[in-house]
Structure 1
């Protein structure tokens, strides 16, 4: 075929080839390649581009460390390629190519998932030339040695897809996902004071407890709704847009505090329950930005971190699937149930693990007992 005929009849050429790291061992130069597989999931990690500040920070984040300069240069060369996966296979179901791209930021120096305020006050150092609906978007960059955060995203939020992010560099670059760490930091329950040292508020707690419990001074789980309704009404006021908590939520919360396992709360357990309930409700109010009585699932990561739970993106996705509604909102009932299950599971794990190891051994009977109780 003559070149002129080729130009006349074709307007696009796609060349399939091995990636640069597939060169032979005796080649003069080999590119270093790092590959990250990830997903944009509606409600948790599908935050859209920087135009959508409220959700952009929830996108997957990859930390990149460039430690060596290029030969004879003062900077590091890298090529970043972002590919959306399986879109052609999904085309028969009506799925089109999404508009995708990425941005690169200077790392602040920690290994935590960056929050909304970071992106509010820091501009990107580099980015893909454009967000475009192609299968793959790639660009070449020259950056000084240092640590960077790479944020791949779709242009619009709430769009779901799997992606593959490849980072090619002339020298070895270290990269890792910032969304995979689980860290639980729970406060120790406070101990009740002797009656003669109680504050006026604590004396009111004791009087309320005695009124609910009767004799003996312990009340069973089936009375839980009364105590929870009193606590929400008395302490926070009736003007808040909270629905009454469900019977299951009440039982779950009190079962968490029932350390003796007899189905009843002693006063010391009731005091811990009261303090924990107030903390959780105040957290919900803090993250209920529009005062609608619901919390956005995109705020759940920050709310759980404030409660002592730093979770992986995968775990967060499972929680949102379970507790968020179709509008990606959680009400107080959902939020409390989520916290109860997380705290219960965390405390059980801490109690069963040996010598500070990150795993436990259970037989089938122990496992079923735990799952029925969590």
Structure 2
């Protein structure tokens, strides 16, 4: 759903200020929906009643919008109950949180549960997401909270403990222990974050992994996996990285169907261990094993190294204990690494710091995070296949400052990972929103342009090839890829595949050594050349006509016996906004090279506000002449970008047109201009074009008048702010 300019940009300013105050960090997470867990628990404790969360109530809207929505028969018998209504002795966590505490219910969120299972392998990470100081006894008032990473910020999500049930059984995620509820409550908090339970249907395990850790994910297709994949997996688990895998199903109808070997296609599994063992009869031979878990809590691999296979007979008791081997239908099983590669098609690794997986040293990477937005008609330019608009996409300058310490294969360069994530698409599903097909390209900045933060123009991309780019544009929440480039300056251009697709995104850059990445933001400034006064001899024929018409109109209305007559008598002829409109439109009508219906009254009022130096809300001849020279200059710019004389210019060209008029703005301001002045076809007509430039000049002039110290900041009272904005 598109934001209004005021709503979106005010929210963005508030978020930026919160970050400056330390909000959004792990130690000071943002309060989702403004709810403070501690304050609410104290308040409801004083009331002596259990907490009811009105922001995520126990109704159909919280369940879903399609299969779980109003029209579905599935929800009729669902009853929301608190754990104390389900179990006699409910516990938040029983005997420590473990991967067997997560069993899938009637919701297609195996991707989420696989990530939760991985999370239980790292207690520090788990209790970062699941604060442990919660129970159904001490200070219990029916309120719980969980913390997630969301698009660069940590957020604290508060819920009540009413959970969907059917016949007194949990409908969705449950624990193998009937009286344990942490996993069900965690699922509810994640559903609230995204708007409903149904919003969690379908996804990639790495999406939840990143939301639990703030890490960055990398994908490996088994058929293209590196030779040292086993080593990469083992080292990743040793470092606490989260890992998931799946088997692609070529036929959608066969999703989540079992193979003859007990594996499930189109289903997310957790990788919970990677180990080696030595069978007693072949001590000199190491067997590489992988342990996996099915979030269903059942349905396991039945091939070699499965729970009851003959291979376990050949292991010593110590080896079995090391591998924690047990025969139980709990969804967890071992298989050989070779069988793992043969049967699974994709593996996903979420690196926490992230670490460099390719060598033996653990590196702490540097991270740069940038928020951005594609705006239809301004900065949603599509991919390189659309050269007329591609250059208008947001651009990010990347500076790689240091080479890797231990370059592989004697190669020099800087290793870094680019991760482009589109925001809020899961939450917007109920409104019919789908994931965009997204990707990015990286271009090397010429040395003569190093340090120049100007937005790269269309001509640059027409003659320059990308230095690197993502393998493909794809409709995932996030596209990531690892690169190695020489130190230097580059520009990253993230985009949707098709132009005109509007949405928010976050671009992260991780590198082994120092890097900086920032959005290319032109310095906000304006040129205000004062036109040289023209003498009578230099006055053009058109200027003479304007003077005549001005005097004619000003004189006609100034012959009435009132204040205007006194001014006319003193040779201070002035015209109103309505009269200005008549003057301008009479001359616009004579310009066949500009197809225009003329200026609106509102535009003429803005022009008077710009040029009115004496506060009369009218223009005298001198003020009018100054205005006319500006309009003629802007008219020539408009004609340059309107070669077909259609009467409008493409909104993507406004960036260049505004720049030619002497204004240097940043991307947020260009977005606002598009939303404010472009029509539904993303075109800007002549009247709107002039109105935009008039407003820009007026606001720059007003700001400079208040900026007494010249430091680029001003302080206004409410009265001054309203006076300025209401009249400008």
> TM-score normalised to the size of structure 1?
0.90
Q: What is aligned with 1:322? A: 676
What is the CA-CA distance between 1:173 and the residue it aligns to? 0.6
How many angstroms apart in 1 are the aligned matches of 2:649 and 2:399? 35
Q: What is aligned with 1:173? A: 515
How many angstroms apart in 1 are the aligned matches of 2:719 and 2:618? 24
Aligned 8 A contact 1:100 1:137 in 2: yes
Aligned 8 A contact 1:21 1:32 in 2: no
Q: What is aligned with 2:354? A: 20
How many angstroms apart in 1 are the aligned matches of 2:540 and 2:597? 29
Q: What is aligned with 1:130? A: 472
What is the CA-CA distance between 1:84 and the residue it aligns to? 1.8
The answer to whether residue 587 in structure 2 is matched with residue 231 in structure 1 is yes
What is the CA-CA distance between 1:22 and the residue it aligns to? 12
Report Cα offsets for 1:299-326 as digits up to 9, x if no partner.
Answer: 1111111112222222222222121111
Q: What is aligned with 1:186? A: 527
How has the CA–CA distance of structure 1 residues 11 and 140 changed in structure 2, closer, same or farther, with 3 Å as cutoff?
closer
How many angstroms apart in 2 are the aligned matches of 1:9 and 1:129? 24
Q: What is aligned with 2:335? A: 3
How has the CA–CA distance of structure 1 residues 336 and 125 changed in structure 2, closer, same or farther, with 3 Å as cutoff?
same
How many angstroms apart in 1 are the aligned matches of 2:531 and 2:365? 56
Aligned 8 A contact 2:574 2:621 in 1: no
The answer to whether residue 569 in structure 2 is matched with residue 218 in structure 1 is no
How many angstroms apart in 1 are the aligned matches of 2:416 and 2:350? 21
How has the CA–CA distance of structure 1 residues 164 and 193 changed in structure 2, closer, same or farther, with 3 Å as cutoff?
closer
Q: What is aligned with 1:120? A: 462
Aligned 8 A contact 2:393 2:495 in 1: yes
What is the CA-CA distance between 1:143 and the residue it aligns to? 1.0
The answer to whether residue 664 in structure 2 is matched with residue 310 in structure 1 is yes
The answer to whether residue 403 in structure 2 is matched with residue 47 in structure 1 is no
The answer to whether residue 606 in structure 2 is matched with residue 266 in structure 1 is no
How many angstroms apart in 1 are the aligned matches of 2:530 and 2:385? 42
SS of the residue corresponding to residue 655 of structure 2 reads helix
What is the CA-CA distance between 1:205 and the residue it aligns to? 4.3
Q: What is aligned with 2:414? A: 76
What is the CA-CA distance between 1:266 and the residue it aligns to? 2.4
Aligned 8 A contact 2:392 2:652 in 1: yes
Aligned 8 A contact 2:398 2:515 in 1: yes
* Unaligned 5+ runs, structure 1: none
Aligned 8 A contact 2:375 2:502 in 1: yes
**What is the RMSD computed on CA atoms of the aligned residues?**
2.5
The answer to whether residue 608 in structure 2 is matched with residue 254 in structure 1 is yes
What is the CA-CA distance between 1:49 and the residue it aligns to? 0.2
How many angstroms apart in 2 are the aligned matches of 1:21 and 1:340? 52
Where in structure 2 are the equivalents of 1:270-285 lying within 5 Å?
Answer: 270-285=624-639
What is the CA-CA distance between 1:275 and the residue it aligns to? 0.5
* Unaligned 5+ runs, structure 2: 1-332, 559-567
> TM-score normalised to the size of structure 2?
0.48
How many angstroms apart in 2 are the aligned matches of 1:359 and 1:21? 41
Aligned residues: 367
Aligned 8 A contact 1:55 1:298 in 2: yes
Aligned 8 A contact 1:64 1:149 in 2: yes
